[in-house]
Structure 1
């Protein structure tokens, strides 16, 4: 768990994350998003919208943590959506999240 949070922080500092509805959607559409993380406490509408959109564009989606933890990990206020735009960070974050029980994989 802590490893995934520190990886998110590093990705943020490296400029490899985008957050927020519009920017995440844009990254998915442009093929820049490698991984989308949705907070576990996001609305059902948001979860469905991103599951569908990411499915269409072939982007991995992970539902993990909650908005307060996600925001804190990247040094921002609460965040419901985060897109990782770097393949290296994406696979490392996915690996560390999958070792945690807080995650629900969505295909």
Structure 2
């Protein structure tokens, strides 16, 4: 796999520091464990709103990466549209890679 973002997400998952799914992501945010929330570009807007609200309330940064749920699923072995990392090092590197890919331009919040 040549995709650095998806490769890093796979490493993060194997390290046990990646939480996938809307409900578990919200739970991680509310327990102050989440360091960065990442959305797939085709994640449903209605589900995104509840996760985004929780992240905003707890001051957790959110990013949307230019990958579909299917692409993420191929890398992680599980289709998911939202995930969070509970490790600062992984969060910092993922944020850097996603922002560099988008030209420093972050995707819109809801």
Q: TM above 0.5, one fold?
A: yes
Instruction: Give the ranges of 4+ consecutive aligned residues of structure 1 lying more than 6 Å apart after TM superposition.
Output: none
Size of the aligned set, in residue pairs, is 106
Candidates 69, 72, 77, aligned match of 2:71: 69
Tell whether the 8 Å contact from 1:61 to 1:105 is kept in structure 2 after alignment.
no
C-alpha distance in 2, partners of 1:98/1:52?
Answer: 21
In structure 1, list runs of 5 or more residues that go unmatched: none
Aligned to 2:90: 89
C-alpha distance in 1, partners of 2:47/2:39?
Answer: 8
In structure 2, list runs of 5 or more residues that go unmatched: none
Residues 1:85 and 1:22: Cα distance change in structure 2 (over 3 Å): same
TM-score, structure 2 normalization? 0.86
| 2:16 counterpart of 1:15 | yes
Which is richer in strand?
1
Candidates 96, 107, 110, aligned match of 1:104: 107
